[in-house]
């Protein structure tokens, strides 16, 4: 094939893939099988590899092609992204309608849209090509997150008209993606995201686009900022035009002739919003006619022609009938409230998070109490307060047990930790959770070996240790419930494939305390083999960029355990790879503001989750610890910063608020 023929086929394949993506991610109506899509993409990748000068930024192959960035550049919005005024009840909606009618002489038609609970973004297209994406920021200045937005497959990299336009929308995380992400974080021992909005915002502020790509975000476009060719007369016409260009718009919008129609729409979605597969926190009401919008104008902060109705927070009161304790793979004992079933946000809730012993003590939660619960982000149930006036006189304060509920060993309260922990290495609950972690996606990624299968294998004593996984035989598997010939064969094949994983996968799967997926890769890339790592001293380990004191101490302690030596020797005999196969890791920039700095995070941050910020700081050469000491270089303090903030002041440590943090990251 010559270059001319290759270019012709490449263009054809790109058009096919754009159509397939639009059908699947925008219309939710797949037009080809996954296999056919993959085959088409593979052919495009092969041709682009053969003719790299034919690769273009709008090619479907370039969704996750960007390298990680050091920081986000600032973007000035030429047309400000204003916030909306709020209405919280029917009367306030009628007041809005009255103000609109006083300002406009002619008839009014409204457009009602679902208010997506995500992150507002702007997308700029020049001659039909996606060239820049930015956060709303303060409405005037946002951050350039183009590389991360390119990973959202419902955002077209090229639109049908060769137009220059800036469009606005809300990036969000669907429920399925959110639940899957939190499950993965829980398996890795990381703090889960509180709600889909925080998860979406945290994902789009990742410095590495590959992380954002794994989060499976989506978007709805709802408006236009700057537009050279704009000649339409109504907001509803703009929504239709955006859809015709290939953008994903929310299909539930509706034109309403009266405020009564608006209120009917609001009432409908107040009831039906639990049926959606994404979060909404209200309804946006806009005057449809664009000329009338201009007549009504703006206040200093918001348009007079639009308002956001905010749903009331939904709570329910029920009885806490018991507290159940579970033991995780690291031995942490977690309490869960058992409730009299009650309906919240459209679903029946019987269990709710109690977090830890300090949470129970702080809220004075007792068995038998009437409690108010809500769903955090309308998904995760949690107890928010006790109804004290309903408390029985004989209600006793709840005391966490002294012994592990799974094995009976004495529980310990380690320094600087809130949680109680079982430190018995033979605790069955920890062993089972450890096995689940070992086979999880970011660890050894053994397909078909999920929680239920592990539970069966553990119960039948077919698998008690990690090495037992690699001794499984088909006859034993076939005795398990719902395990057929094909499933058993596929599972054994997946186990065999996992033997060839690079060292960091095995290292993370072993579940060494404080060693997450990133630290595992750093250690594997530095030491190259399991033998070299197992022989490393504390000084060897702390000399590695991004490996802190706690990590180093944990690694040394882990490899000093006799049972670990036996396990690794066992795995070697079973042909499990112990060598790093990945690329060399680049060191942080020499002028990084966090290079060789020890950082403590405290208080509530508005624009960052704690774990996402921790990853960013560590990627920039810093070490994040949990307590303030004379060795601390920087304390980053959000709202309601407590004792750590005061201690930092006493020690004269440099304290940053969120504004300074953003300035440093954006510098």
pLDDT value at residue 163: 86
Quick check: is 101 in a domain?
A: yes
227-251: b (≥16 Cβ within 10 Å) or e: beeeeeebbbebbebbeebbbbbbe
What CATH number should be reported for the domain holding residue 334?
2.40.50.140
Report the chain's mean pLDDT, rounded to a whole number. Answer: 87
Determine how many CB atoms are found less than 10 A away from the CB of residue 198: 20
Q: pLDDT at position 380, please? A: 65
Q: What is the mean pLDDT of residues 631-659?
A: 84
Output the domain CATH number for residue 49. 1.10.287.610
Residue 68 has pLDDT above 60, yes or no: no
Task: Mark whether 319 and 296 lie in a shared domain.
Answer: no
Q: Which of 428-442, 443-457, 597-611 has the lowest mean pLDDT?
A: 597-611
Collapsing DSSP states into helix, strand and coil, what is residue 86?
A: strand
Q: What is the pLDDT confidence band of residue 546, given thresholds at 50, 70 and 90?
A: confident
Residue 353: predicted pLDDT: 84
- With respect to residue 582, please indicate whether it lies within any of the assigned structural domains: no
Co-location of 102 and 188 in the same domain: yes
CATH number at residue 230: 3.30.470.30
Residue 189: per-residue pLDDT? 61
**pLDDT reported for residue 532:** 96
Same-domain check for residues 565 and 612: no
Same domain, 443 and 328: no
pLDDT for the residue numbered 43 = 87
Q: What does the pLDDT read at residue 658?
A: 84
Predicted confidence (pLDDT) per residue in 375-416, tens digit: 754 456 889 899 999 999 999 999 999 999 999 999 887 766
Which of residues 361, 380, 400 is at a domain's end?
400
For 490, other C-beta atoms within 10 Å of its C-beta total: 13
Tokens of 123: 């997308």
Select which of 8, 74, 115, 474 is catalytic: 115
Rounded to whole angstroms, how far apart are CA atoms 331 and 21? Answer: 44
Q: What is the count of structural domains for the chain?
A: 5
pLDDT score of 98 more than 70: yes
* 230/303 same-domain check: yes
CA distances from 665 to 94, 138, 208, 583, 594 (A): 44, 16, 14, 26, 10
pLDDT of 584 strictly over 80: no
Q: What is the mean pLDDT of residues 220-231?
A: 84
Residues 458, 538 within the same domain: yes
Domain extent at residue 30? 3-62
The mean pLDDT of 84-100, rounded to a whole number, is: 92
Q: With respect to residue 406, please indicate whether it lies within any of the assigned structural domains.
A: no
User: Does any domain span residue 419?
Assistant: no
- What does the pLDDT average to over 206-224? 90
- Domain end point (choices 556, 573, 590): 573
Residue 472 lies in a domain: yes
Q: Say whether both 438 and 554 belong to one domain.
A: yes
The pLDDT confidence band at residue 605, using thresholds 50, 70 and 90, is: confident
Final residue of a structural domain among 353, 380, 400? 400
In the chain, the percentage of residues whose pLDDT exceeds 90 is: 46
* pLDDT for 377: 46
Distance CA(236)–CA(143), nearest Å, equals 29
Q: Is the pLDDT of residue 66 over 60?
A: no
> 379-393, 457-471, 534-548: which has the highest mean pLDDT?
457-471
Are both 365 and 432 inside the same structural domain?
no
Scanning 281-397, the segments in alpha helix (DSSP H) are 290-296, 357-363
> Strand order in 218-227's β-sheet?
129-135, 119-126, 165-172, 218-227
pLDDT of residue 378: 46
Residue 512 shares a structural domain with residue 444 = yes
Residue 291 in domain: yes
Residue 64, pLDDT above cutoff 70: no
User: From the centroid of its chain, how far is CA 198?
Assistant: 7
434 and 353 belong to one structural domain:
no
**CATH assignment at residue 615:** 3.40.50.10190
Determine phi and psi for 602, rounding to 5 degrees: -145, 150
In a domain, 25, yes or no: yes
Told to judge if 115 belongs to the known catalytic residues of this protein, a careful annotator would answer yes
Please classify residue 306 by burial: count the beta carbons closer than 10 Å to its beta carbon, then call 0-12 exposed, 13-18 middle and 19+ buried: buried
Judgement on whether residues 304 and 324 belong to the same structural domain of the protein: no
Residues 614 and 637 in one domain: yes
**Confidence band (pLDDT; 50, 70, 90) for 125?**
very high
Express each pLDDT in 28-52 by its tens digit: 677 877 678 778 888 888 888 888 8
Residue 412 lies in a domain: no
Per-residue confidence at 300, pLDDT binned at 50, 70, 90? low
């Amino acid at each position: 094939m010559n270059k001319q023929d290759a270019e012709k086929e490449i263009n054809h394949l790109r058009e096919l893939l754009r159509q397939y993506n639009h059908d699947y991610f925008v219309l939710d109506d797949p037009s080809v099988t996954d296999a056919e899509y993959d085959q088409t993409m593979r052919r495009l990748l092969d041709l682009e590899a053969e003719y790299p000068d034919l690769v273009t930024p709008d090619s479907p192959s370039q969704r996750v092609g960007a390298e990680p960035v050091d920081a986000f550049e600032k973007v000035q919005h030429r047309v400000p992204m204003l916030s909306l005024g709020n209405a919280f009840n029917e009367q306030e909606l009628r007041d809005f309608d009255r103000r609109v009618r006083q300002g406009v002489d002619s008839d009014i038609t409204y457009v009602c849209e679902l208010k997506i609970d995500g992150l507002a973004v702007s997308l700029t297209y020049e001659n039909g090509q996606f060239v820049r994406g930015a956060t709303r920021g303060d409405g005037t200045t946002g951050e350039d997150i183009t590389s991360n937005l390119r990973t959202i497959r419902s955002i077209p990299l090229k639109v049908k008209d060769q137009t220059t336009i800036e469009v606005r929308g809300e990036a969000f995380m669907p429920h399925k993606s959110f639940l899957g992400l939190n499950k993965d974080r829980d398996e890795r021992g990381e703090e889960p995201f509180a709600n889909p909005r925080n998860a979406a915002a945290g994902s789009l502020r990742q410095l590495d686009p590959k992380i954002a790509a794994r989060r499976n975000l989506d978007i709805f476009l709802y408006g236009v900022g700057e537009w050279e060719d704009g000649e339409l007369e109504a907001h509803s016409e703009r929504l239709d035009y955006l859809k015709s260009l290939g953008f994903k718009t929310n299909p539930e919008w509706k034109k309403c002739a009266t405020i009564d129609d608006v209120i009917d729409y609001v009432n409908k979605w107040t009831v039906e919003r639990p049926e959606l597969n994404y979060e909404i926190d209200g309804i946006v009401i806009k005057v449809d006619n664009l000329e009338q919008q201009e007549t009504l104008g703006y206040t200093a902060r918001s348009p007079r022609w639009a308002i956001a109705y905010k749903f009331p927070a939904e709570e329910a009161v029920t009885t806490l009938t018991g507290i159940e304790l579970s033991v995780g793979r690291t031995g942490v004992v977690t309490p869960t409230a058992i409730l009299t079933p009650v309906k919240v946000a459209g679903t029946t809730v019987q269990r709710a998070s109690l977090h830890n012993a300090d949470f129970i003590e702080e809220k004075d939660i007792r068995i038998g109490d009437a409690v108010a619960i809500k769903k955090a982000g309308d998904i995760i149930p949690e107890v928010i307060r006790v109804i004290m006036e309903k408390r029985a006189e004989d209600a006793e304060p709840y005391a966490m047990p002294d012994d592990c509920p799974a094995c009976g060993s004495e529980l310990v309260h380690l320094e600087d930790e809130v949680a109680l922990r079982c430190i018995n290495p033979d605790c069955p609950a920890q062993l089972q959770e450890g096995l689940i972690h070992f086979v999880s996606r970011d660890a050894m990624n053994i397909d078909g070996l999920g929680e239920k299968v592990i539970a069966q294998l553990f119960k039948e004593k077919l698998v008690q240790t990690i090495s037992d996984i690699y001794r499984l035989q088909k006859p034993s598997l076939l005795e398990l419930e719902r395990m057929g010939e094909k499933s058993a064969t596929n599972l054994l094949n997946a186990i065999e494939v996992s033997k060839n994983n690079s060292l960091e996968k095995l290292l993370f799967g072993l579940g060494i305390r404080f060693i997450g997926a990133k630290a595992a890769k750093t250690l594997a890339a530095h030491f190259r083999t399991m033998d070299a790592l197992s022989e490393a001293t504390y000084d060897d380990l702390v000399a590695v960029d991004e490996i802190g004191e706690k990590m180093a101490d944990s690694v040394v302690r882990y490899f000093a355990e006799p049972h670990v030596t036996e396990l690794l020797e066992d795995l070697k005999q079973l042909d499990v790879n112990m060598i790093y196969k990945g690329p060399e890791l680049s060191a942080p920039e020499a002028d990084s503001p966090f290079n060789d700095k020890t950082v403590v995070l405290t208080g509530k941050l508005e624009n960052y989750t704690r774990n996402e910020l921790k990853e960013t700081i560590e990627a920039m050469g810093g070490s994040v610890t949990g307590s303030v000491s004379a060795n601390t270089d920087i304390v980053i303090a959000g709202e309601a910063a407590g004792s750590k903030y005061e201690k930092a002041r006493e020690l004269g440590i440099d304290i940053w608020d969120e504004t300074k943090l953003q300035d440093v990251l954006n510098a």
